[in-house]
C-alpha cells in the first residue's frame, strides 16, 4: 500500500508543471548546476533520455551498465559540438528526436528484445542526438554557455540513466513490466504527435 | 484479499479522477489561449464527453476481458490515437470522424453490455481503429503555438488516466453483483454513443 502511494505521489510530482525558460535557468549555484537544471527543465531532452534509458535497461543488466557509460560520453561529445556550432535550432534534429521517441518507445511498448551491443549502439546514437540538441539549446539559452554548464548537464544525464536503469533492472515483477510497456507506449504516442506537430508547423514551434 | 485488491483499485481510480480533473480547476481563469503546455494537453481529452466515454469504456472492456487485454488495450490505444492525431496535424483527412467516434462508444458499450469476449487479434485492431478517429479529431483542433512535446505528453497521460479510470471502475466486476453493474455501465456507454451518433447526423 505504501509503495502504491509512493508511486502515485511520484506520478503526480512528474505531472507537475515545469516553467519554460528562454534563458539558461539561473540556479544561483553557478553554471554547473545551471546546466544540470537545464536538462530537468527541457521536456524533449528529459523525455527522450528517460525513454532511451527504459529501452536499454529493459534489455538486461549488461545493456543497463553500457547505457550508463555510453550515454553520458556520447551526450558530452555531441553536446560539445552543439555548444560550439552556430546552429540555433534544427528542423531535422527536432524530427530525429521525435522519431527517437517513436522508435524507442514503440520498442519498449512491444517489449522487443535485442542484444546489449545493439542497445549500446542505440545509446550512443540517440544519446549523441539528444546531446547535440541539448548543446544547441545551451548555447541558444546562454551565449556564454561554457564547458562547466555542459558538464553539469552530463552529470544530470548520468544521474537519470543510473536511476532509471537501476529501477528497471531491480524491479522484475510482472506488474512493473506492464508499467514499463505503458510508459513506452506513452513515449511513442508523444513522439508521433510531436512529429505531426513539427512537420505540420514546418518546424516553427513554440517549444 | 480480493476486497483489499478492489479497494486499492478503487483508491487508484479516485486519484486518477482527481488528477484528470485538476488542470481544469487550476487553469479555469488563467489561461486565455487554452492550448499551451502540459496542462492544456492534459485537459484536452477531457474536453468532450464523446472522448471521455470511449476512453473509459476501453478500460472497462479491458477489465471485463481480464489479462492480457487489460493492459494491452491501454498500450495500443494511445499509439493509434497519436497516429490519428498526427494525420490531423498534417491535414490528412480521415472520413466520418464524428460518426466513427460515436460508433466507438456504441460498439464498446454493446461489447460490455453483452459481455462479449473477443479474441485479442480482433480486440486490438478494433480499439486501434476507434483510437484513430479520436486522435484525428483532436489533431485537427490542436494549435501549433503550443509546446509540442509537453502538450503531447499531457494529452497522452490524460488518455492513459482515463483508461486507468475505466480499469479501476471495472474492478467492481470482482464484487457481488459487480458484473451486472459493469454491464449496466456498458448500457450507459451505448446510450451515450447513440446520443452522439444522432448529434453527428443532425
pLDDT in tens, A19-49: 444 455 666 677 788 888 888 877 888 889 9
For the ranges A203-207, B10-14, B28-32, B184-188, the one whose mean pLDDT is highest? B184-188
Specify the pLDDT at position A16. 41
- Alpha-helix residue ranges (DSSP H) falling in chain A: 2-15, 31-40, 43-57, 61-84, 91-109, 116-141, 147-170, 174-200
Q: What is the DSSP letter of B146?
A: S
In degrees and rounded to multiples of 5, residue B35 shows phi and psi of -100, 90
A18 inside domain = no
Q: Do the beta carbons of residue A136 and residue A91 sit within 8 Å?
A: no
- Count of other CB atoms within 10 angstroms of residue A27: 15
Q: Is A197 on the interface with B (CB under 8 A)?
A: yes
Q: What is the mean pLDDT of residues B78-88?
A: 92
My answer on whether omega of the bond before B68 falls inside 30° of 0, hence cis, is yes
Q: Residue B11 burial (CB < 10 Å; 0-12/13-18/19+)?
A: middle
**Spatial separation of the C-alpha atoms in residues B133 and A205, rounded to whole Å:** 25
Does the structure show a pLDDT above 50 at B28? Answer: no
A150 inside domain = yes
pLDDT digits (tens, 9 = 90+) for B88-101: 888 898 888 889 99
Does the structure show a pLDDT above 70 at B70? Answer: yes
Asked if A193's CB is within 8 angstroms of B150's CB, the reply is no
A10 inside domain = no
Q: Name the residue range of residue A55's domain.
A: 29-200
Q: What is the mean pLDDT of residues B128-132?
A: 93
Any residues with CB less than 8 A from the CB of B12 and at least 6 apart, and which?
Answer: A4, A8, B164, B168
A95 inside domain = yes
The Cα of A180 is separated from the nearest Cα of chain B by a number of Å equal to 10
Q: How far is CA B201 from CA A22, A77, B50, B97, B118, in A?
A: 47, 58, 14, 12, 29
A-chain residues near B71 (CB < 8 A): 178, 181-182
Specify the pLDDT at position A44. 80
Specify the pLDDT at position A204. 58
The Cα of A202 is separated from the nearest Cα of chain B by a number of Å equal to 10
Specify the pLDDT at position A198. 85
Chains A, B: CB contacts within 8 A come to 125
Specify the pLDDT at position A24. 59
pLDDT digits (tens, 9 = 90+) for A114-161: 888 999 999 999 999 888 888 888 777 765 667 788 889 999 999 999
A5 inside domain = no
Specify the pLDDT at position B16. 55
A168 inside domain = yes
pLDDT > 90 in chain B, percent: 33
The mean predicted confidence, pLDDT, of chain A is 81
Specify the pLDDT at position B172. 84
The Cα of B177 is separated from the nearest Cα of chain A by a number of Å equal to 26
Q: How far is CA B149 from CA A51, A98, B81, in A?
A: 13, 9, 16
Which residue has cell 549555484? A29
Instruction: Evaluate the CA torsion angle A27, A29, A30, A36 in order and state its sign.
Output: negative
Any residues with CB less than 8 A from the CB of A79 and at least 6 apart, and which?
Answer: A131, A132, A134, A135, A138, A150, A153, A154
Specify the pLDDT at position B50. 86
B-chain residues near A188 (CB < 8 A): 78-79, 82
Q: Do the beta carbons of residue B154 and residue B68 sit within 8 Å?
A: no
Which residue has cell 458484473? B179
Q: What is the mean pLDDT of residues B30-45?
A: 63
| Cα angle: B10, vertex B14, B16; to 5 degrees | 110
Residue B181 CA neighbour count, 13 Å, CB half = 11
The mean predicted confidence, pLDDT, of chain B is 81
Establish whether this prediction's ipTM goes over 0.90: no
Specify the pLDDT at position B105. 93
For the ranges A41-45, B129-133, B146-150, the one whose mean pLDDT is highest? B129-133
| Cα angle: A189, vertex B53, B113; to 5 degrees | 115
Closest-approach residue (CA) in chain A for B155: A190
Does the structure show a pLDDT above 80 at A107? Answer: yes
A3 inside domain = no
Residue scoring higher pLDDT (B141 or B128): B128
Amino acid at each position: 500500500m505504501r509503495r502504491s502511494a509512493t508511486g502515485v505521489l511520484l506520478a503526480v510530482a512528474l505531472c507537475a508543471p515545469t516553467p519554460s525558460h528562454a534563458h539558461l535557468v539561473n540556479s544561483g549555484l553557478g553554471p554547473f548546476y545551471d546546466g544540470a537544471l537545464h536538462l530537468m527543465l527541457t521536456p524533449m531532452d528529459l523525455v527522450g533520455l528517460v525513454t532511451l534509458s527504459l529501452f536499454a535497461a529493459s534489455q538486461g543488466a549488461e545493456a543497463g551498465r553500457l547505457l550508463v557509460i555510453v550515454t553520458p560520453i556520447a551526450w558530452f561529445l555531441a553536446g560539445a559540438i552543439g555548444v560550439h556550432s552556430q546552429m540555433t535550432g534544427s528542423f531535422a534534429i527536432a524530427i530525429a528526436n521525435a522519431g527517437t521517441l517513436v522508435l524507442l518507445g514503440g520498442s519498449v511498448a512491444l517489449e522487443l528484445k535485442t542484444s546489449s551491443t545493439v542497445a549500446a549502439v542505440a545509446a550512443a546514437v540517440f544519446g549523441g542526438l539528444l546531446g547535440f540538441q541539448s548543446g544547441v539549446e545551451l548555447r541558444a539559452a546562454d551565449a556564454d554557455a561554457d564547458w562547466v554548464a555542459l558538464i553539469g548537464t552530463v552529470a544530470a544525464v548520468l544521474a537519470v540513466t543510473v536511476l532509471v536503469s537501476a529501477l528497471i533492472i531491480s524491479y522484475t515483477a510482472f506488474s512493473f513490466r506492464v508499467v514499463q510497456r505503458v510508459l513506452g507506449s506513452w513515449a511513442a504516442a508523444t513522439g508521433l504527435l510531436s512529429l505531426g506537430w513539427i512537420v505540420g508547423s514546418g518546424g516553427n514551434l513554440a517549444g | 484479499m480480493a476486497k483489499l485488491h478492489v479497494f486499492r483499485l478503487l483508491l487508484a481510480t479516485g486519484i486518477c479522477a482527481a488528477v484528470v480533473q485538476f488542470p481544469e480547476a487550476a487553469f479555469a481563469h488563467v489561461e486565455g489561449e487554452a492550448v499551451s503546455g502540459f496542462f492544456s494537453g492534459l485537459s484536452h481529452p477531457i474536453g468532450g464527453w464523446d472522448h471521455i466515454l470511449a476512453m473509459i469504456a476501453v478500460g472497462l472492456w479491458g477489465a471485463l476481458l481480464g489479462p492480457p487485454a487489460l493492459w494491452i488495450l491501454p498500450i495500443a490505444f494511445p499509439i493509434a490515437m497519436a497516429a490519428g492525431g498526427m494525420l490531423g496535424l498534417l491535414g490528412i483527412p480521415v472520413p466520418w470522424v464524428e460518426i466513427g467516434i460515436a460508433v466507438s462508444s456504441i460498439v464498446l458499450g454493446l461489447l460490455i453490455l453483452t459481455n462479449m469476449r473477443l479474441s485479442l487479434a480482433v480486440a486490438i485492431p478494433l480499439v486501434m481503429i476507434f483510437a484513430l478517429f479520436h486522435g484525428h479529431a483532436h489533431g485537427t483542433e490542436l494549435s501549433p503555438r503550443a509546446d509540442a512535446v509537453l502538450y503531447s505528453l499531457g494529452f497522452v497521460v490524460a488518455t492513459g488516466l482515463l483508461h486507468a479510470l475505466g480499469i479501476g471502475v471495472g474492478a467492481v466486476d470482482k464484487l457481488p453483483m459487480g458484473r451486472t453493474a459493469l454491464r449496466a455501465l456498458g448500457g450507459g456507454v451505448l446510450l451515450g454513443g447513440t446520443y452522439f451518433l444522432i448529434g453527428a447526423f443532425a
